[in-house]
Amino acid sequence: EAGVVQSPRYKIIEKKQPVAFWCNPISGHNTLYWYLQNLGQGPELLIRYENEEAVDDSQLPKDRFSAERLKGVDSTLKIQPAELGDSAVYLCASSLSSTYEQYFGPGTRLTVT
Amino acid sequence: SQQGEEDPQALSIQEGENATMNCSYKTSINNLQWYRQNSGRGLVHLILIRSNEREKHSGRLRVTLDTSKKSSSLLITASRAADTASYFCATVDRDDKIIFGKGTRLHILP
């Protein structure tokens, strides 16, 4: 069974530029999560989807971040414009439902210069 | 905001010894999960324990949950070099909101 796929693995951009991350969850997993992880810290939830519905986006900085999960499968997270403080690893995870264990992708390491 | 607080923040033990790390949280939970993250790699799920359970085992791992004290512990027995990693607890509350702690960095000495 294929795991959670994320791309790109690494991204370097200049501040004020846009950037997008893509995630393909495990087949059949209804719940999809996007996290931000800073060095030495635990993951911080940005948004949680149940199928195509964003059920928890309370921690998503909506002035610059957006996300979508069309057809309840793949998801894209976008930042526009990026700021220096957005440098971090962006993790995608999926699970059968929100009360089950999560499976994480390898993450995208974003560096904003 | 982070609900789970792992303790200690860092732990170094000799190979073969047991390692215990703790997690405390603040609100009522549906379940509590433990994850491992090796340096520079993704998180891997270890054990999920539900609020009506008190103890679960998986191989060399034992997790306990005390809902009255709002705390959980992860015990790794007979540690190996490959156990060197960061360990995170994550709580899922009644609204299915998940929050990760800051982690315990475990280092197994040869």
Q: Tell me how far apart the alpha carbons of residues B76 and B54 are, in angstroms, rounded to a whole number.
A: 17
CB A57 within 8 A of CB A50: no
Q: Residue B110, preceding bond cis, omega within 30 degrees? A: no
SS (H, E, C) B20-35: EEEEECCCCEEEEEEE
CB A103 within 8 A of CB A91: no
pLDDT of B39: 80
Q: If you write DSSP's letter for every residue of B67-99 in order, what string do you get?
A: TTTTEEEEEE-S--GGG-EEEEEEEEETT--EE
The verdict on A22 touching B (C-beta cutoff 8 Å) is: no
pLDDT of A92: 97
pLDDT of B1: 47
Computed on alpha carbons and rounded to an integer, the radius of gyration of chain B in Å comes to: 13
pLDDT of A56: 93
Which stretches in chain A have pLDDT values below 70? 1
Q: Which residue, among A33, A35, A27, has the nearest Cα to A3 in the 3D structure?
A: A27
Residue of B nearest to A109 (CA): B40
pLDDT of A105: 96
Which of B31, B44, B103 minimises the CB distance to A42? B103
CB B18 within 8 A of CB B84: no
pLDDT of B108: 96
Q: Tell me how far apart the alpha carbons of residues B47 and B59 are, in angstroms, rounded to a whole number.
A: 11
CB B23 within 8 A of CB B103: no
pLDDT of A97: 87
Chain B CB contacts of A91 under 8 Å are: 42-43
pLDDT of A1: 64
pLDDT of A2: 81
What distance in Å separates residue B44's CA from the closest CA in chain A? 7
Which stretches in chain B have pLDDT values below 70? 1-3
Q: Residue B42 and residue A56: Cβ atoms within 8 Å?
A: no
